Amino acid sequence: MTELIPAPRAVTAAPGEVRLTARSRLHAGPGAEGVGRWLRTVLGQATGLPLREGREPDGTDATDGTDGIALQVDGRLGPEEYRLVSDARGVLVEGGDAAGVFWGAQTLRQLLGPDAHRRAPVRRDRIWAVPHLTIEDAPRFRWRGLMLDVARHFMPKDGVLRYLDLMAAHKLNVFHFHLTDDQGWRIEIRRHPRLTEVGAWRARTKFGHRASPLWDEKPHGGHYTQDDIREIVAYAAERHITVVPEIDVPGHSQAAIAAYPELGNTDVIDTTALSVWDTWGVNPNVLAPTDNTLRFYEEVFEEVLDLFPSEFVHIGGDECPKEQWRSSPAVQARIAELGLADEDALQSWFVRHFDTWLSARGRRLIGWDEILEGGLADGAAVSSWRGYAGGTAAARAGHDVVMCPEQHVYLDHRQDGGPDEPVPIGWVRTLEDVYRFEPVPPELTPAQAAHVIGTQANVWTEAMEDAARVDYQVFPRLAAFAEVAWSALPAPAERDFADFERRTVAHYARLDALGVAYRPPGGPRPWQRRPGVLGRPIGGPPPHR
């Protein structure tokens, strides 16, 4: 059972195996106690084995036997690095920190076979064995992310917790939580309760692409209470995942304006007539650049910072149409008052305001690559989605970058060109296409490339109405992406996709055990299709850059 995903740096096999039995012990040393609790829980559920504490009453280490598991931190290893040794003495997982121990424990779980990912034993007579081997491993990038859009289609809390488990199983460590947009506001803000009372619900929903004539004529929505958020953040932290919240400004804000009309450009349109948007696309209703709007969002961010301890806070900053600003006498007066050149400079001013505000509180702003337009504050980082150009420019200017180009790692894009793909969006991005994605542009110098702190796959849910649709679009491509983010792979053309495909066969069994409704290699199952629902397929190969 060495068909590991993502592929480790080095594996040395040896004859023999360690068998876990009812007398096997598990001991977690100092700094690894949380990993020990997690591993004892998940393996106990799957195997039915008690995996009692590995210390004998006299204080000696029972894992010196032949069937124990020991977890320990070894400061000689690097951050997130681990070493797993299975031999005649048992299984030892060492990590440079608790995260490294955790990733090693995830590898151990894969070595035990697909049924180790279940929540209860399926065979009481099952033999649980780990082959004798040594694995040495460490991640390529420190930001290995998944962005999940819960604004377009709400995912209840239990679904979010499930996705954190799926991320952890693939050694992904950043959950970019897209919480607000035109179609819904998903996080409780106690000082501004109408954000969820009004902004969390829309009257109906477009089914398919925005050009589709089909509608789901029932209200859609939901939100997370602050305690829900605390639970999600704590659950993620136990799995060594950082949650980065996204609160969109100044575009993608109609849900907020519907709740508080004074946030919009009231001298251009009747903002009191706006409701939470029920269709898709780029919305013209953007925030007004008033002092009131700034104070309102500062109060929002104050509560957000209290809930999310992450270094980075995402402010969106993308797709902000300027038509209302150009037509608004109040906005034009504001531009003149601030001494700005134009509306693009006004958006930059908006972004810089929150960059300064976040920096003063020990946090860092990150936004989509449009925040580069008009100049960017020194400490801000960029999520490069419109190809590589934004990320390349940002890295050259000394800004940290997360590479997530639409044409490579937007998992809402279709997986095949066949007629059975459900609600086909964008370019065809096969499993192999994702596997051959390279996050670091070759034109960057080594010093510039160091600013590419990682990569993430993005999941926009306009055409994903439930968890099964999300699963279909995300898997198995997320497994390929995880290997790109974790493993030290050769250049894209030289990658051994045949080997990855071979290992994916074993990985499908793990996904089955985890209950993932992935896209089968032969195409969608009948219940995964959406015949007659209009998408937006783009023909031909996507632009490389």
Strands (DSSP E) found in 69-204: 69-73, 82-87, 90-95, 128-137, 143-149, 174-178, 180-181, 184-185, 201-202
With 70 as the cut, is the pLDDT of residue 1 above it? no
Q: Average of pLDDT values for 419-439? A: 97
Helix (H) / strand (E) containing 200? none
104-123 pLDDT, tens digit each: 999 999 999 999 999 999 98
> What positions carry a catalytic annotation?
181, 252, 319
With 90 as the cut, is the pLDDT of residue 404 above it? yes
d(CA 75, CA 72): 10
What is residue 124's predicted lDDT score, i.e. its pLDDT?
85
- How would residue 376 be classed by pLDDT, with cut points 50, 70 and 90? confident
Which is it for the CA torsion 92, 141, 14, 106, positive or negative?
Answer: positive
Average pLDDT, the chain: 96
- How would residue 66 be classed by pLDDT, with cut points 50, 70 and 90? low
With 60 as the cut, is the pLDDT of residue 351 above it? yes
514-531 pLDDT, tens digit each: 999 999 999 999 999 999
- How would residue 377 be classed by pLDDT, with cut points 50, 70 and 90? confident
d(CA 135, CA 311): 31
With 90 as the cut, is the pLDDT of residue 216 above it? yes
What is residue 57's predicted lDDT score, i.e. its pLDDT?
38
Q: Average of pLDDT values for 352-365? A: 96
What is residue 130's predicted lDDT score, i.e. its pLDDT?
97
Contacts with 5 (C-beta within 8 Å, 6 or more apart), sequence order: 110, 170, 479, 482, 483, 500, 503, 504, 507
295-319 pLDDT, tens digit each: 999 999 999 999 999 999 999 999 9
- How would residue 55 be classed by pLDDT, with cut points 50, 70 and 90? low
Q: Average of pLDDT values for 428-436? A: 98
With 90 as the cut, is the pLDDT of residue 240 above it? yes
How much of the chain exceeds pLDDT 90, in percent?
94
What is residue 504's predicted lDDT score, i.e. its pLDDT?
98
Q: Which of 20, 27, 25, 137 is nearest to 84 (CA)?
A: 137
With 70 as the cut, is the pLDDT of residue 428 above it? yes
What dihedral do alpha carbons 58, 62, 65, 66 form, nearest 10°? 160
Q: Average of pLDDT values for 279-292? A: 98
Partners of 72 in the beta sheet?
A: 94
d(CA 509, CA 208): 31
